[in-house]
């Protein structure tokens, strides 16, 4: 590929929202590197996705220590592309990574101890060739490590200059509030929560979004398409190359029941009436709530990214549309 020069119109193509009560603005769509950036993936395609994302105003790239496969490879591959294409745009980018899931053998490579979190970020920075990340997350709650230790590690990381802000992922409303209080006492900038949220998984509506609004923290949601279920992919069965068809993958085909497909088909009809694909409507439905700062999308090619970008052209819903969608979502399996 020839030398990359970002589109001069990149900031004309994206809308940005304030992240809680901070000074940070996030694009409505952010790019997640969970899939499609590991060693088994096509790196030319990965590079094209990153370039297209930034050209369209996506300034936030989201990683984690164990993204790949193998673990760490997404950060390594991102680091190579960053060095060649994006180093000159570093101050225009928000780069995040996380630690909290298993990363290396033994008792010190998992969960939320000070040793694990600080060691993991040191490794992540080396893999990506960065001096700091903009956001460092604790990737999941740790039931055994005191929250004071975990938050203390995040505080130390910021004070060492290795991260500008910190966040958490998948924390309950109660633990999020406790974490916020600890970090406030420490004087550490708690920026954001990254929960799983989509039309079919709505746990954040039971207290978390209200808690985030109360304490002034933003949110960036992952899995907006429920691993592809909220697309047209499964309307006519399970394709051979889909995630559900891969044994031991992230999506269990047994969960794709006739009743679920019936519900998805009904949602697809509503999307068609809005002149959107189901995937576009699913993303727009999340963004209708201003407490959602950004939606993380993961794509395997540029065409998928461009399709997701079309979602932000229409994130308004009439009361009738919302009522119709809600009836489908709360309907009992038949």
Residue 233: pLDDT band (50, 70, 90) is confident
Average pLDDT value for residue range 107-125: 98
3-state secondary structure of 325: helix
Q: Which residues pair with 29 in a beta bridge?
A: 295
Give the pLDDT score at 318: 98
Helix boundaries (H) for 232-277: 258-273
Omega within 30 of 0 (cis) for the link into 70: yes
Q: Which residue matches tokens 């899995």?
A: 223
Omega within 30 of 0 (cis) for the link into 69: yes
Spatial separation of the C-alpha atoms in residues 204 and 218, rounded to whole Å = 13
Q: Lowest mean pLDDT: which of 231-240, 255-264, 284-293?
A: 231-240
Please tell me the pTM assigned to this model.
0.94
User: Using one digit for the tens of pLDDT, what is the confidence trace for 180-226?
Assistant: 999 999 999 999 999 999 999 999 999 999 999 999 999 999 999 99
Average pLDDT value for residue range 28-47: 97
**Is a pLDDT exceeding 90 seen at residue 334?**
no
**Is a pLDDT exceeding 50 seen at residue 313?**
yes
Q: Tell the CATH topology of 10-226+280-314.
A: TIM Barrel (3.20.20)
**Is a pLDDT exceeding 50 seen at residue 245?**
no
Give the pLDDT score at 234: 85
Residue 2: pLDDT band (50, 70, 90) is confident
- CB 149, CB 128: distance < 8 Å: no
Give the pLDDT score at 332: 72
Spatial separation of the C-alpha atoms in residues 267 and 283, rounded to whole Å = 13
Q: Which residue matches tokens 């992230």?
A: 250
Q: What is the DSSP string of 43-109?
A: HHHHHHHHHHHHHTT--EEE--TT-TTTTTHHHHHHHHHIIIIIGGGGGG-EEEEEE-S--SSSTTS
Average pLDDT value over all residues in the chain: 94
Give the pLDDT score at 327: 97
Q: How far is CA 42 from CA 46, 119, 178, 199, in A?
A: 6, 29, 42, 31
Q: Which residues pair with 168 in a beta bridge?
A: 138, 193
Average pLDDT value for residue range 302-322: 97
CB atoms within 10 A of CB 222: 19
Average pLDDT value for residue range 232-260: 67
**Is a pLDDT exceeding 60 seen at residue 241?**
no
**Is a pLDDT exceeding 60 seen at residue 148?**
yes
Spatial separation of the C-alpha atoms in residues 287 and 26, rounded to whole Å = 12
Give the pLDDT score at 9: 98
Contacts made by residues 283-287, CB under 8 angstroms, sequence distance 24+: 283/29, 283/224, 283/225, 283/308, 283/311, 283/312, 284/311, 284/312, 284/314, 284/315, 284/317, 285/199, 285/317, 285/325, 286/197, 286/198, 286/221, 286/224, 287/28, 287/311, 287/312, 287/315
**Is a pLDDT exceeding 50 seen at residue 51?**
yes
Q: Lowest mean pLDDT: which of 26-35, 150-159, 257-266?
A: 257-266
3-state secondary structure of 110: coil
Residue 242: pLDDT band (50, 70, 90) is low
Average pLDDT value for residue range 115-128: 98
Q: What is the DSSP string of 213-236?
A: HHHT-EEEEB-TTGGGTTSSTTTT
User: Which tokens hold the place of 109?
Assistant: 């490579």
Spatial separation of the C-alpha atoms in residues 243 and 234, rounded to whole Å = 11
**Is a pLDDT exceeding 70 seen at residue 295?**
yes
Spatial separation of the C-alpha atoms in residues 143 and 111, rounded to whole Å = 9
3-state DSSP of 171-214: CCHHHHHHHHHHHHHHCCCEEEEECECECCECHHHCCHHHHHHH
**Between 99 and 227, the higher pLDDT residue:** 99
User: Using one digit for the tens of pLDDT, what is the confidence trace for 59-98?
Assistant: 999 999 999 999 999 999 999 999 999 999 999 999 999 9
């Amino acid at each position: 590929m020839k030398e990359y020069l970002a589109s001069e119109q990149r900031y004309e193509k994206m809308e940005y929202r304030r992240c809680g009560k901070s000074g940070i603005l996030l694009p409505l769509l952010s790019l997640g590197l969970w899939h499609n950036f590991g060693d088994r993936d096509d790196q030319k395609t990965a590079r094209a996705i990153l370039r297209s994302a930034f050209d369209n105003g996506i300034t936030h790239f989201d990683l984690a220590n164990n993204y790949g496969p193998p673990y760490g490879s997404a950060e390594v591959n991102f680091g190579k592309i960053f060095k060649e294409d994006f180093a000159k745009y570093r101050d225009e980018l928000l780069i995040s990574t996380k630690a909290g899931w298993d990363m290396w053998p033994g008792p010190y490579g998992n969960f939320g101890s000070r040793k694990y979190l600080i060691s993991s970020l040191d490794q992540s920075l080396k893999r990506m060739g960065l001096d700091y990340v903009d956001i460092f997350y604790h990737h999941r709650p740790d039931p055994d490590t005191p929250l004071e230790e975990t938050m203390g590690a995040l505080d130390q990381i910021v004070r060492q200059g290795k991260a500008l802000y910190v966040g958490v992922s998948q924390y309950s409303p109660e633990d999020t509030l406790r974490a916020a209080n600890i970090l406030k006492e420490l004087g550490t900038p708690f920026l954001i929560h990254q929960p799983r949220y989509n039309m079919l998984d709505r746990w954040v509506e039971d207290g978390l979004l209200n808690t985030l609004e109360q304490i002034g923290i933003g949110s960036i949601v992952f899995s907006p398409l429920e691993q592809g279920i909220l697309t047209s992919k499964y309307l006519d069965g399970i394709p051979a190359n889909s995630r559900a068809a891969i044994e031991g993958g992230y999506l269990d085909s047994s969960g794709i029941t006739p009743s679920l497909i019936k519900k998805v088909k009904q949602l697809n009809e509503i999307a068609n009436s809005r002149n959107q694909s189901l995937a576009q409507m699913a993303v727009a439905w999340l963004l209708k709530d201003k407490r959602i700062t950004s939606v993380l999308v993961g794509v395997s090619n540029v065409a998928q990214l461009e399709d997701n970008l079309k979602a932000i052209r229409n994130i308004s819903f009439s009361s009738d549309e919302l009522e119709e969608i809600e009836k489908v979502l709360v309907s009992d399996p038949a």
